[in-house]
Amino acid sequence: MTISIRPIKPSDKVRWLELFQEYIVFYKSKLSVEQFDLTWQRINSDFNINALVAELDGKVVGFTHYIWRPDTWEAQDFCYLEDLYTDPKVRGKGVGRALIKAVEDIAIAKGSKQLYWTTAPDNELARALYDKIAITNMVEYKIYLNK
């Protein structure tokens, strides 16, 4: 089995949507059809959302979305890995790690000094991977607006 990572393309829309919907359900959340469409449009425009897909034996089995964030402490933007999801049938085969590595390589090439992301505290499977490849040194706080 060979994992390949590449930029998302318009022909990936159906499979990306399946995986993105699974991802949203995994986090016990809901998005409107309009929001899924808007995210797809943003990925496929000059908007600051980038996406990669992972293929295993020619089939799309995962994706990641990442954005560039200006920083007040560095001249170069930081890279924020916003979403990462792999098909549950291929978990443990290195797909998530390969997606993160691909974003890391892109961030390094752009001169970024930081790639970071968050996950839910109870996402133990993902955290088992993340703890092997990254450090955690911040606590996140949120205020949800317009509840």
* Residue boundaries of the structural domains of the chain: 3-133
- Is residue 1 over pLDDT 80? no
Q: What does the pLDDT read at residue 26? A: 93
The catalytic site residues sit at: 130
What is the spatial distance between Cα 133 and Cα 66, in angstroms, rounded to a whole number?
A: 17
User: What does the DSSP assignment read for 19-69?
Assistant: HHHHHHHHTT----HHHHHHHHHHHTSSSS-EEEEEEETTEEEEEEEEEEE
**Is residue 15 classed exposed, middle or buried when 0-12, 13-18 and 19+ CB atoms within 10 A define those classes?**
middle
**Domain 3-133 superfamily per CATH:** Gcn5-related N-acetyltransferase (GNAT) (3.40.630.30)
Q: Could you report the per-residue pLDDT of 29-40, keeping only the tens digit for each?
A: 999 999 999 999
Question: By mean pLDDT, which of 9-13, 21-25, 32-36, 69-73 is the weakest?
Answer: 69-73
Alpha-carbon 14 to chain mean position: 17
Q: What does the pLDDT read at residue 139? A: 78
